[in-house]
Every structure is written in C-alpha cells, then in structure tokens.
Amino acid sequence: MAIKVIKNPPMAERLYREIGESIKQEIAKSTMKVGDKLPTERVYAELFGVSRTLVREAFIMLEIEELIEVRKGSGSYLKNSPSSLLTIAHVSDVGPFELLQARQEIESSIAACAAPVITKQDLQKLQDILDIESAELEVVENANSADRDFHLSIAQATQNTVLVDTATRLWDMKDGNPMWKKLHARIQDTSYHDQWLEDHRKVLVQLRKRNAEGARQAMWQHIENVKQTLFKLSDTEAPDFDGYLFAQPHG
Amino acid sequence: MAIKVIKNPPMAERLYREIGESIKQEIAKSTMKVGDKLPTERVYAELFGVSRTLVREAFIMLEIEELIEVRKGSGSYLKNSPSSLLTIAHVSDVGPFELLQARQEIESSIAACAAPVITKQDLQKLQDILDIESAELEVVENANSADRDFHLSIAQATQNTVLVDTATRLWDMKDGNPMWKKLHARIQDTSYHDQWLEDHRKVLVQLRKRNAEGARQAMWQHIENVKQTLFKLSDTEAPDFDGYLFAQPHG
DNA sequence: AATTGTGATTTGGTATGCCAATTTTGCTGT
DNA sequence: ACAGCAAAATTGGCATACCAAATCACAATT
C-alpha cells in the first residue's frame, strides 16, 4: 500500500488550554484590575482539581498572550485586560452590516490620516496591489487577499501601530463569520469586482494628491458601495440573511 | 506605613523562553519543512541538558505561537515556518502619543456616529458621569474610571458592537503601559482636570443637539487638548519619556 | 504475499516532590 | 516605639516518575 492513510485524527484540545480559557473567564468575571495579583497556581490547581503542572502550563499560555506576568517567589499579576481577547470571540458573530458600518467610519479616518504622510514606497505598493487586482480578474482565489492587502497597506502608511492593529483586527473579524464566505462567493460572480477596483483607484488618486479629505471621502464611498452591494444581495439571499443582516438601524 | 513601596524587581527571563528560542533557531538552521516531525521532547531535554518539563513548556510556547502542533503519542510537527512569525507588533508597548493619535481619529468618528442615534437614556448616562466627574475633584482615584466610562458610553451609544469593542480595546491599551500611570499621577496634580471636564461638557452639548460634525469636532479638540497636555508634561519629564514619546512624526 | 491482530515501544500527558527566590512575620536590640 | 535582621511561610521553578494514547514490529492467519 503506497498511500499513507490519514493518521493523527483530530485530537481533543489539550487540557492546559481549557484551563487557560477558564482562568481567563474567571478573571473577566471578577473585578480584577490590571496590576492586581492573581490567585496562586496552587489555588487554581485545587479549584480545577488538577495538578499544579497543568495550571502552570496554562499560566505560560497566558504569559505568552501577554495577559499576565509571572514572578518567582512573588506571584502572577494581571498585565493586560482579558477583555481585549475575550470580547473578540463574542465579536466574531457580528453581522456583516454592523462590521461594515464600523469599517466605513474607521477606515475612512485611516485613509485621511495616511494621506499627508504616505511615502513613495507606500504609494508604489498600493499601485502594485492594484495591478494585481486588475490582472487577476479570473483568478478570484486571491482577490480577497489583494483586497485585504490594499486596505491594510493604507493603514500601514499612517505609520501608526495602533491604527494598523485596529484595521487588521476589523478585517480579520469577517474570517470568523461564515456569512462572509457566502457573500464573497456571490460577489465573485458579479461585476462588482470592477466597481471596487475603480473605487480603489479613486482612493489611490487622492492619496497621491496627499488630499486627506479626498481620501476620506473616496474610502467612505468605497465602503458605501460595498454596503449597497451587500444590500442588493440580501434581497436574493433573504432567507439566509434574514434577521441577521439588519441588526443595526444605523446609517 | 501607608505607602506600599514598589517591590518585585525585574526578574531574569524564564528558562522555558530561552529554550523555546533555542529550538526556534535549531529549526531555522535545519532544513525542516512545514509538516515535518520535530525531535521529541526527550531528545531536546537531553540536548539542552534540562528536564523534559522545561522542553514541554517551551513546546507550549511554540504551540501558542502557532509554530508547531503537538500530538499525543505521535510527536510534534512544524506548523508554520519560524520566519512567518511577523505577527502584529505587540501593542502593549505602544507610545502614549501614538495611541492618542489613533484615539483622536477613531473616537471623533465614533462621536459623530453616535450623535444621530443617541438615545435619551444614553444622554442621561453621560450627564450622570459628568456629574460624578464634577463632584469628585478631590477623589482622584476614580477619575480615570469615570473618564473611561464617558468615552466608552459614547461608543455604546452608536449601538454598534464593533465600535464598542474597538473603543474598549484602545482604551485598555494604556493599562499595559507604565508610562500612563506616571502621566496620570502628574495630571491629577494639575488643573488639566477642569479643562477635560469642560471638554466633556462640550461633547455632550453637541450630542444633545444630534450634531454629528459638532460632536466630531468637540471630541477631536478634547483629545487634542490631552495631546497638548502630554506634550507639556514631556518637557518636565523629559528623561523618562525621551525617545519613547515621539516615535511618531504624525500629526 | 497480503492482512490482521497483538504486544512492545515510542511519545506526549499528568502528578508529586523538592528547590530557590521572594515576601512576610516576629524577635531583638537600641 | 522603632529599626534591623533573621527565621518562617509563601510562591513559582524545575526534575523525576508514572500514565495513556498512538505507533510500530512481527507473528499468526488467510
């Protein structure tokens, strides 16, 4: 037999992860502030009915995630609020419309922020991405990737780490949502791709002119167009999106 | 003794981290491809002359970083190349100026977004927070908390989960940064509190008028004032902030 | 020769115990 | 009272030992 069959079937999640997640929730439920001391490893061990080794591994996980800081002989201390990580799970099932609304606000600001300080290299990079988008009309596989690159490259042009982080976070939110995949599948079939390509061009033109308000408007209009597309699609896909798409009266 | 002095001096880096980094280098130096099996924990333990426990902890670190995948009874496998470890720069050590810049952009958009849809209850809540801020001129302990409530309540008024999440995240970023604590300590002494209180009032006025652009401007100006305060303080605190505060040419 | 079953081996999973750094306690001397 | 120091308690660091799942080797069977 030449074919090596699939071994290693999906494994149950490692215990230390479950414990780590439980500890996160405990912290989130409590009134603990950043800098406060956590219960000791031994306390958690008894609480969860496992050995200290496992709790220690869970602590290492939280330490890698920069949620806590561990000090020998002293204890472990809350370094960052777990809310920043905890809410992300909850946020993974926000509606596409709600997410687009937020992106419209924030990304247009980011575009305006980038315009005055964007470098020649950044502009070239955006042009390159645009070329790729123009070329691969059929190769839709990477269309989403290029789209992401375009938006995030603008964020990077602001040279502000926080804005890059925020934009990345917003963009990745849709990955957790199966609804987006359906949308993308639909959209690929249509001519909306051309519309968005033109939108991207307009944004780039404003960035080249170092026109902050122009860039803001262009980005705003771009995402507005995406919203409109979404709106139209929701007509034909009504059963799927019903009660899900329009959670927000906003806009 | 009422004052709790600072204990917990800086600690030497934890051993499992060193081992984890060493393993990363070993992988990088080798010709290992993604999917290949790594040497076992026992092998590394003997190689580094430590117990398997430490190697295991290092493996957990690599697993959290999504570099490897661990399978019971089988072994550990390379999941991503160590070079692809270019994750987002850890936001915990972002400079105050950079963070304020991002907040100025995003929170002013949020204020504009909230203005048209804010409810009477939200307005009342903001008024209550303002009253608290006005009252507790001396009780500076909760000043930061009230400040946070004010800003985040505006985000909640947008009724957009994503915006609430984003604002919360931005606000919590400063908790990880010791520099902010120093700033707050300084600021409490000054009369800047009155300035910011007045700023908050102006924002609320615009929100009451349902004036989106007015709210945007008011919030922008508020954070601009905070930035100016920070700037002034950086003069007197120069040694502490040098090379840290002005990482961004932006603004 | 191919397949299958079973036991040995490999490999990660978990628990227990002791060590070292830190913090707290409390005694002692001034 | 107070300061200083030392012993004791606390807490994380690390190692050893044993458990369980997966894999492998090989003989029995077809």
- Would you call B166 and A102 a contact, using CB atoms and an 8 Å cutoff? yes
DSSP percent split of chain B into helix, strand, coil, nearest 5: 70, 5, 30
- Would you call B168 and A84 a contact, using CB atoms and an 8 Å cutoff? yes
Residue B239 pLDDT: 39
Are the C-beta atoms of B18 and A79 separated by less than 8 Å?
no
* CATH code at B92-239: 1.20.120.530
Question: Taking residues B120-147, what's their average pLDDT?
Answer: 77
- A72 CB and strand D closer than 7 A: yes
- B91 CB and strand D closer than 7 A: no
Strand D: which nucleotides have any atom within 7 A of a protein Cβ?
10-17, 20-23
Residue A149 pLDDT: 87
Distance CA A65, CA B65 (A): 9
* pLDDT tens-digit map of A68-109: 999 999 999 998 776 554 444 445 566 788 899 999 999 999
Distance CA B220, CA B101 (A): 10
Residue B177's nearest CA partner among A57, A132, A79, A73 is A79
Residue A171 pLDDT: 85
pLDDT value at B182 more than 80: no
Chain B residue with CA closest to A16: the answer is B60
Range from A234-248, B86-100, B184-198 carrying the lowest mean pLDDT:
A234-248
Pick from B160, B184, B210, B217 the residue to mutate for testing the A interface (most A CBs within 10 Å). Answer: B160
Pick the CATH number of B15-84 from 3.50.50.60, 3.40.47.10, 1.10.10.10, 3.20.20.80: 1.10.10.10
Q: If residue B69 lies in a helix (H) or strand (E), which one and from where to where?
A: strand B68-71
Ramachandran quadrant class, B16 (left: phi over 0; alpha: psi -120 to 50; beta: rest): alpha
Cα–chain center distance at A18: 23
Pick the CATH number of A15-85 from 3.40.50.10540, 1.10.10.10, 3.40.630.10, 3.20.20.140: 1.10.10.10
Amino acid type, A209:
K
> HSE of A164 in the Cβ direction (CA atoms, 13 Å)?
15
Chain A residue with CA closest to B70: the answer is A14
Residue B176 pLDDT: 55
Residue B235 pLDDT: 58
**Fold of the CATH domain A93-241:** Four Helix Bundle (Hemerythrin (Met), subunit A) (1.20.120)
pLDDT value at A10 more than 70: no
Please report, rounded to whole angstroms, the spatial distance between the CA atom of protein residue A53 and the C1' atom of nucleotide D20: 17
What is the band of B172 on the pLDDT scale with cuts at 50, 70, 90?
confident
Percent of chain B with pLDDT over 70: 72
Q: What is the mean pLDDT of chain A?
A: 79
Range from A21-25, A155-159, B84-88 carrying the lowest mean pLDDT:
B84-88
What is the band of B219 on the pLDDT scale with cuts at 50, 70, 90?
very high
Are the C-beta atoms of A103 and A170 separated by less than 8 Å?
yes
Are the C-beta atoms of A199 and A222 separated by less than 8 Å?
yes
What is the band of B103 on the pLDDT scale with cuts at 50, 70, 90?
very high
- The domain locations on chain B are 15-84, 92-239
Q: Which residues on chain B are in Cβ contact (under 8 Å) with A88?
A: 165
Distance CA A40, CA A24 (A): 14
Select the highest-mean-pLDDT range: A140-149, A188-197, A240-249, B224-233.
B224-233
Residue B37 pLDDT: 93
DSSP notation for A156-220: HHTT-HHHHHHHHHHHHHGGG-HHHHHHHHHHHHSSHHHHHHHHHHHHHHHHHTT-HHHHHHHHH
- Would you call B176 and A34 a contact, using CB atoms and an 8 Å cutoff? yes
Distance CA A222, CA B91 (A): 29
Residue B137 pLDDT: 52
Nearest CB to B162 within list A34, A84, A91: A91
pLDDT value at B242 more than 50: no
Residue A246 pLDDT: 35
Q: Min CA distance, B102 vs chain A (Å)?
A: 6
Write down the ipTM of this complex. 0.58
A135-A168-A96 Cα angle (round to 5): 80
Residue B240 pLDDT: 41
Question: Taking residues A60-65, what's their average pLDDT?
Answer: 93
> HSE of A118 in the Cβ direction (CA atoms, 13 Å)?
29
Question: Taking residues B141-152, what's their average pLDDT?
Answer: 77
* pLDDT tens-digit map of A98-152: 899 999 999 999 999 999 999 999 999 999 988 887 776 554 455 677 788 899 9
Are the C-beta atoms of B35 and B78 separated by less than 8 Å?
yes
pLDDT value at B56 more than 50: yes
pLDDT value at B94 more than 50: yes
Range from A188-192, B11-15, B212-216 carrying the lowest mean pLDDT:
A188-192
What is the band of B157 on the pLDDT scale with cuts at 50, 70, 90?
very high
Question: Taking residues A19-26, what's their average pLDDT?
Answer: 92
